[in-house]
Amino acid sequence: MVAMLQVRGLSVEVGGKLRVDNASFSLHPGDTVGLVGRNGAGKTSMLKVIAGESPAAAGIVSHPPAVGYLPQNPRPRGSGVDSTGLSHVLSGKGLDALALRMEKLRLKVDETGAERDAARFARVEAEFRDAGGYRAESDVRTIAAGLGLGDDRLDLPLNALSGGERRRVELTRILFAGSDLLLLDEPTNHLDNDAKQWLMGFLRSYRGALLVISHDLELLDASITRVLHLDEGEVIEYRGTYSQYQISRAADEERLGKLASRQESEIQRLEQLANRMRGQTAKRAKTAKAIDTRVARLARDQVTGPKRQQRIGVRFPDPPRPGRVVLEVDGITKGYGGPNIFEDVTFAVERGERLVVMGLNGAGKTSLMRILAGQTEPDSGTWTFGHGVSAGYYAQEHEGIQAGTTVIDHLKTVGLPESQLRTLLGTFGLFGDVAFQDAGTLSGGEKTKLALAQLVTGRHNLLLLDEPTNNLDPPSREAIGDALSDWPGAVVLVSHDPDFVSRLEPSRVLMMPDGDLDYWSDDMLDLVALA
């Protein structure tokens, strides 16, 4: 069987640090392979290199010319004949350009009636028909609907869509194009529960080769044929489902831990023995030297025990005390040239209150948050912050993270000593030399941690959080959720993560697009993943 992907001796460097060292593996049609590892291990960087988006430090990657690659934060600029999401998706097979060419030829035939023009039209029409052009729009809308993107959103210009919607447009384009190899980095980000289930069903029936990074691999469990575990630059392959990988990995970690402990004990015993013999007779000194050689050999061949997930202990400092009302919103309306996404939304947030913004995909949650953060303007209505309010905004697309600027330089505007800033980064799991790495080379999870660290340094008393747990591994989600649950400031939150919402213990909920306010009830947790 011909391999869809062959990787031989692949090494990947990020910020001068080796993230992947001499990895080799292959994927064949029907393979569904999960790439797993802690945040910052190098999964995203490795996928970029395989997709051809970044150069390899060493090694060879070969795959078909057409690859469906979904990065963590795709920003489709529109490769279709017009700026709409539909045209962008159709361009995945070149069908929008074919349709435009066919229409121009049809008009020319109507105008001239020339036999040559009619023959050219017939050839283009046959190419369009054979490529599935006549059913293409229906197929696109079916895929988009499965991913939670309605017809009205697909017909809008890309720049009118939220970050999550643009991501779904790009995923729709990839699935519609029908590549033999899919490389997907966190494909369930920004998807509600129904869309996740639809996507996983689609991927389970996919007959090509799939390499996927996801924190939702449980949803693909039965379809996974192998798992590639990346840690400390080494890629270890486990055959079987994701559940079988978890069992095998736990057994490996226990075995390696015991072996590393035994080897370390033996090295210490021999070193102590050599040291006792060294100052005695010449014969014993010679024996000590032989023991030193043996110790060096043991140390060279010593296995490394499993690296434990470094726990992060996030703490948001107590904010300055604002007035009683921290945010007032009065009758704001927003549209993008078509029907309004929402209109006449009115609410207020008081000091220390937690407000969850809920609504189906396309209901305007991100548009509302961007207005409150001063990123865009409403079409009508007003919003004001209360006395003494400092607002911090977490954007789901990491707009505040600048490529070409080091991680630590993102925090230096607050005037704290570098040692304190490095300590702060460490509390978010950004340890060691990561502080001096180009922030543009961070993984999605690391960018999330940096963006949250920026909020901490700002000493804000109102946080506007738009999907703050995307790309985070479970320990990081738990640590940040616990930190915010103890924080006395006010929070306006958009999230599909029921556990995270529960930790924040919200007081009220704003239902979009209608702008209806209600008191929070734990019964609503079942709706969080759906909205």
Look at the chain and count its residues. Answer: 531
CATH number of 325-528: 3.40.50.300
The tens digit of pLDDT for each residue in 83-132 reads 788 888 988 888 888 888 888 888 887 888 788 878 888 888 888 888 88
CA distance 429 to 310: 7
pLDDT, residue 342, reads 93
CB 28 within 8 A of CB 2: yes
Question: What is the SS3 assignment for 253?
Answer: helix
* Residue 308 pLDDT exceeds 60: no
| Stated pTM of the model | 0.71
DSSP 321: P
* Residue 68 pLDDT exceeds 80: yes
CA 376 from centroid of its chain's CA atoms: 24
The residue type of 4 is M
* Residue 249 pLDDT exceeds 70: yes
Q: Which tokens belong to 199?
A: 């996507």
CA distance 449 to 242: 26
Report helix angle 115-130 to 133-146, nearest 10.
30
CA distance 212 to 226: 11
- Could you count the other beta carbons within 10 Å of the beta carbon of residue 77? 9
Phi-psi region of 381 (alpha: psi -120 to 50; beta: other; left: phi over 0): left
Q: Which tokens belong to 299?
A: 């140390």
The tens digit of pLDDT for each residue in 315-372 reads 778 889 999 999 999 999 998 777 888 999 999 999 999 999 998 877 889 889 999 9
CA distance 126 to 132: 10
CA distance 59 to 19: 14
**154 vs 508: which has the higher pLDDT:** 508
**192 vs 142: which has the higher pLDDT:** 142
Q: Given the structure tokens 């289930």, which residue do they identify?
A: 197
Q: Which tokens belong to 264?
A: 């370390």
CA 474 from centroid of its chain's CA atoms: 13
Question: What is the SS3 assignment for 105?
Answer: helix
What are the residue boundaries of the structural domains of the chain, listed by start?
A: 325-528
The tens digit of pLDDT for each residue in 122-180 reads 888 888 888 888 898 899 999 999 998 888 888 888 877 777 788 889 999 999 998 89
**Residue 268, C-beta contacts closer than 8 angstroms, at least 6 positions apart:** none
Q: Which tokens belong to 232?
A: 């400390």
